[in-house]
Structure 1
Amino acid sequence: MADGATSYTVDEALLAMGFGKFQCLFLLYAGMGWISEAMEMMILSYVGPAVQHTWGLTSKQESLITTVVFVGMMVGAYSWGLLSDKYGRRKGFLVPAIVTSGFGLLSSFAPNYVTLILSRCLVGLGLGGVPVILAWFLEFMPAPNRGTWMIIFQGFWTIGAIMEAALAWIIMPRLGWRWLLALSASPSLLLLIFYIMTPESPRYLCLKGRKNNALRILEKIGKLNGKRLPPGNLVTDHEVELQEKIVPPKDGNEDDSGVGSSNPPRWKDSDMGAFRSQLMLLSPKLIRSTLLLWVVFFGNAFSYYGLVLLTTELNSGNNKCNPNELRSQKSGSVNYKNVFITTFAELPGLIISAFTVDKFGRKLSMAVMFFICCIFMLPLVVHQSEAVTIVLLFGARICITGTFAVVYIYAPEIYPTSVRTTGVGVASSMGRVGGMICPFVAVGLVQGCHQTAAVVLFVGVVFVSGICTCYFPFETKGRELTDSVASTKNEKPKATRQEEP
């Protein structure tokens, strides 16, 4: 500061306190949100075939059960992201958790197809707020090894997917799809129970000029972690950059920047409206990252959920395109054992990501896994035996799980705090468009005996996504998070800072 007093930023405070008890507790809470979304999404591959058989639906009607969830998620991701950047991370996640748990439970009582469609669409609206919790958790992470910890966080998605596969295997043959829908809503209820214990992001509070509130939260983190805050005063990134640019006047009076005053200055984009926040994503500094990120999110969602649906469609009783092959399954049934096995592909996908994301960087990790996914999917352009199909889908899902995990780290890292959840939310909305379309490819084309066309489309989308990752403007490995679009903190990449012993 101007008077020469020592000071520290939120990044430096988190670095000094390290990853401790607080982050572990928050990891469990945020992870429950990820489990909730995984269970509500994985359920689609089980409920669709069951409802189709029970109510005599067409393949398009079955596909619509999945599509409406993505429609709701597209609207929700966009809306909750804006709300979170405007009013805070906690408030931006409370309403989505209520909507998801409430309508998830109500959908299990749906008396007809229309009611089921409407309730699942509203579940999707709530699920659209889950990316907010991802950015929320990220803002409590110290910069070194942030990627590895975020991959560990992504592991909760895999836990949710495996839990849903196990539940389906146990519940569906005995109690039916209604019980599965009801039980899958339980993680969202846990989020509401423990919500009161969660803190606001100190980075967000500093952006809004509420430095004292941010300091109190950092002190609580230090107390839980058994570490002390660095000596000196907490300063915002804006204050630091102003101090670097402005020389104090000779008469000793404070300039009008507000540096050193009791009311710390704020960035000009700290109180943007919804429309301006969206325009900021397309500003000269962000437009290239934003557009490429939209394509990658679209490709990830399209291919990931497509692989989930292909796992059931290529080995279900509804696939009548190979009449010469003996089938022991009755119409409308799903081979839950095969689905359960392929779900475990997410574990090696996350392990590979954890080892590569901080060593080789986000961009290279995503690009390589996208291209390897193409190699696994190509043989499926023609019908394969059940065993070969499972092996190929297992390998493809390893890769696409890895890319999904990494892009959810990269996305909040490239955006500043002022538009972080808006940026991730809009990108997630683009991904939901991919999710809306994929059922008509993975279900409609496959059941229409057009497996080759379906797989070619998936391979093409995955390949284009891999190309786009190569053109991202910069690598975020080891970079500190920025607070404003106007920030110059990361214009010249610094060497990765190591945590002091």
Structure 2
Amino acid sequence: MFIFRYFVFNMQESPKYLIAKGRDEEAVAVLHHVARVNKVALTLTADDLRKAVVAELGPQAVDSGQGKSNWQAVKEGLTTFDLSHVKPLFSTTRLAVNTSLVIWIWGCLGLAYPLYNGFVTLYLTNAGAAFGDTSLNTTYRNYAIFSIMGIPGSLIACLLVEWRSSWAVGGRKFAMAISTLLSGLFLFLFTTAKTEAAILGWNCATSLVENAMYGVLYAYTPEVFPGPHRGTGDGLASCFNRVCGLMAPIIKIYAGANNASAPIFVSASLFVVASISMLLLPIETAGKAAM
């Protein structure tokens, strides 16, 4: 991933960050790079940028980011904290329902995902005892196999998102709901496996559809929030996702103390709940301009 990050994708620094640090020339260079990648002509210069800022905010705005330390940036952010970017996410009934459901879905998945992926190696070790093979080599060999099998899931998600004309029956919501439902179904079937081959097969299937689910969900989530408040919406969903994830070890301790399958059952149930919630989302983003 390090090689891909620096030598294949050539990811650029955020122009917003560079401008906040007073590095206008570097920010403009990033924008020119983005323009070249998208085959768009761009004539913007650093002087043009400064002139636009002065015209909009006044001369003092040009120097406001010069030499600003990280602590100063954090301090300014805290002193200007308000709910101006939260309220618009709930400005209409339709948007409020959609925002609440998106946050709820991320919370369900935030708990379901670590319950399965975080403790599956323990389950595999216990399951291996039934076949006389409890070695770490076998456990992590199987874990590596179904992790690799998840890679095509990301490609499937890409097809579901980009080839929307072929999936007009439901768009993003349909693709998310089906892949999430299959994730829960395969997890339930996984706990019924009686052979090592069956365990490996159900895990591979689960990993495939899970990656497809997340691929579409990551595309849908930013699209469904209004542009100026998209970062706030994403942040709320991510925060709830992480908070719910903290509960996974607690459930494992109390629900799975004497039953290695318990965390898997809970995870599968949460995937099903998330799938139903996805079908209830009132906003579809496939084939539509961003909000």
Q: Counterpart of 1:408?
A: 218
Aligned counterparts of 1:454 and 1:362: Cα–Cα separation in 2? 28
Aligned counterparts of 1:405 and 1:290: Cα–Cα separation in 2? 19
Q: Counterpart of 2:158?
A: 354
Aligned counterparts of 2:128 and 2:133: Cα–Cα separation in 1? 13
RMSD of equivalent CA atoms: 3.9
Q: Counterpart of 1:455?
A: 264
Q: Counterpart of 1:133?
A: none
Aligned counterparts of 1:287 and 1:335: Cα–Cα separation in 2? 45
Aligned counterparts of 2:8 and 2:109: Cα–Cα separation in 1? 24
Tell me the TM-score normalized by structure 2. 0.69
CA apart distance, 1:468? 1.2
Q: Counterpart of 1:228?
A: 41
Aligned counterparts of 1:326 and 1:25: Cα–Cα separation in 2? 44
Note the alpha carbon deviations across 1:403-437, whole angstroms, 9 max, x for none: 11211111111123322122111101111133222
Q: Secondary structure in 1 aligned to 2:85?
A: helix
Q: Secondary structure in 1 aligned to 2:118?
A: helix
Q: Kindly indicate whether residue 84 of structure 2 is the aligned counterpart of residue 280 of structure 1.
A: no
Q: Counterpart of 2:176?
A: 366
Q: Please say if residues 300 and 400 of structure 1, whose CA atoms lie closer than 8 Å, have aligned partners that are also in contact.
A: no
Q: Single out whichever of 281-290 and 438-447 deviates more from structure 2.
A: 438-447
Q: For the structure 1 residues 26 and 364, does the alpha-carbon distance in structure 2 shift closer, same or farther, using more than 3 Å as the test?
A: farther
Q: For the structure 1 residues 443 and 354, does the alpha-carbon distance in structure 2 shift closer, same or farther, using more than 3 Å as the test?
A: farther
Q: Counterpart of 2:73?
A: none
Q: Counterpart of 1:28?
A: 9
CA apart distance, 1:375? 2.3
Aligned counterparts of 1:395 and 1:224: Cα–Cα separation in 2? 35
Q: For the structure 1 residues 380 and 276, does the alpha-carbon distance in structure 2 shift closer, same or farther, using more than 3 Å as the test?
A: same
Amino acid at match of 1:306: L
Aligned counterparts of 1:26 and 1:294: Cα–Cα separation in 2? 35
Q: Counterpart of 2:61?
A: none
Aligned counterparts of 1:396 and 1:385: Cα–Cα separation in 2? 17
Q: Please say if residues 172 and 216 of structure 2, whose CA atoms lie closer than 8 Å, have aligned partners that are also in contact.
A: yes
Q: For the structure 1 residues 384 and 281, does the alpha-carbon distance in structure 2 shift closer, same or farther, using more than 3 Å as the test?
A: farther
Give the counterpart of 1:391 among 177, 201, 218.
Answer: 201
Note the alpha carbon deviations across 1:205-257, whole angstroms, 9 max, x for none: 9xxxxxx9987764453356664149xxxxxxxxxxxxxxxxxxxxxxxxxxx
Give the counterpart of 1:329 among 115, 119, 134.
Answer: 134
Q: Please say if residues 313 and 442 of structure 1, whose CA atoms lie closer than 8 Å, have aligned partners that are also in contact.
A: no
Bigger fraction of residues in helix: 2
Q: For the structure 1 residues 322 and 404, does the alpha-carbon distance in structure 2 shift closer, same or farther, using more than 3 Å as the test?
A: closer
CA apart distance, 1:476? 1.6
Note the alpha carbon deviations across 1:266-304, whole angstroms, 9 max, x for none: xxxxxx734333333333263112111112112223233
Aligned counterparts of 2:250 and 2:204: Cα–Cα separation in 1? 22
Note the alpha carbon deviations across 1:179-216, whole angstroms, 9 max, x for none: xxxxxxxxxxxxxxxxxx624159xx9xxxxxx99877
CA apart distance, 1:394? 1.5
Counterparts of 1:152-191 in structure 2 under 5 Å?
none
Tell me the TM-score normalized by structure 1. 0.42
CA apart distance, 1:350? 0.8
Q: Please say if residues 282 and 290 of structure 1, whose CA atoms lie closer than 8 Å, have aligned partners that are also in contact.
A: yes
Q: For the structure 1 residues 419 and 436, does the alpha-carbon distance in structure 2 shift closer, same or farther, using more than 3 Å as the test?
A: same
Amino acid at match of 1:278: V
Q: Please say if residues 313 and 443 of structure 1, whose CA atoms lie closer than 8 Å, have aligned partners that are also in contact.
A: no
Q: For the structure 1 residues 459 and 219, does the alpha-carbon distance in structure 2 shift closer, same or farther, using more than 3 Å as the test?
A: closer
Q: Counterpart of 1:479?
A: 288
Q: Please say if residues 184 and 270 of structure 2, whose CA atoms lie closer than 8 Å, have aligned partners that are also in contact.
A: no
Q: Please say if residues 362 and 475 of structure 1, whose CA atoms lie closer than 8 Å, have aligned partners that are also in contact.
A: yes
Amino acid at match of 2:9: L
Q: For the structure 1 residues 27 and 430, does the alpha-carbon distance in structure 2 shift closer, same or farther, using more than 3 Å as the test?
A: farther
Q: Please say if residues 160 and 175 of structure 2, whose CA atoms lie closer than 8 Å, have aligned partners that are also in contact.
A: yes
CA apart distance, 1:329? 3.1
CA apart distance, 1:343? 0.5
Aligned counterparts of 1:467 and 1:408: Cα–Cα separation in 2? 18
Q: Secondary structure in 1 aligned to 2:83?
A: helix
CA apart distance, 1:326? 4.9
CA apart distance, 1:392? 0.9
Q: For the structure 1 residues 388 and 278, does the alpha-carbon distance in structure 2 shift closer, same or farther, using more than 3 Å as the test?
A: same
Q: Secondary structure in 1 aligned to 2:120?
A: helix
Amino acid at match of 1:329: T
Q: Single out whichever of 381-390 and 370-379 deviates more from structure 2.
A: 381-390
Q: For the structure 1 residues 307 and 29, does the alpha-carbon distance in structure 2 shift closer, same or farther, using more than 3 Å as the test?
A: farther
Q: Kindly indicate whether residue 2 of structure 2 is the aligned counterpart of residue 198 of structure 1.
A: no
Matched residues, percent identical?
21
Q: Please say if residues 183 and 271 of structure 2, whose CA atoms lie closer than 8 Å, have aligned partners that are also in contact.
A: yes
Q: Please say if residues 313 and 446 of structure 1, whose CA atoms lie closer than 8 Å, have aligned partners that are also in contact.
A: no
Q: Please say if residues 410 and 476 of structure 1, whose CA atoms lie closer than 8 Å, have aligned partners that are also in contact.
A: yes
CA apart distance, 1:458? 2.0
Q: Kindly indicate whether residue 273 of structure 2 is the aligned counterpart of residue 468 of structure 1.
A: no
Aligned counterparts of 1:362 and 1:201: Cα–Cα separation in 2? 30
Aligned counterparts of 2:199 and 2:85: Cα–Cα separation in 1? 45
Q: Kindly indicate whether residue 122 of structure 2 is the aligned counterpart of residue 307 of structure 1.
A: no
Amino acid at match of 1:198: E
Q: Please say if residues 309 and 443 of structure 1, whose CA atoms lie closer than 8 Å, have aligned partners that are also in contact.
A: no
Number of residues paired by the alignment?
247
Aligned counterparts of 1:302 and 1:376: Cα–Cα separation in 2? 17
Note the alpha carbon deviations across 1:90-129, whole angstroms, 9 max, x for none: xxxxxxxxxxxxxxxxxxxxxxxxxxxxxxxxxxxxxxxx
Q: Kindly indicate whether residue 101 of structure 2 is the aligned counterpart of residue 292 of structure 1.
A: yes
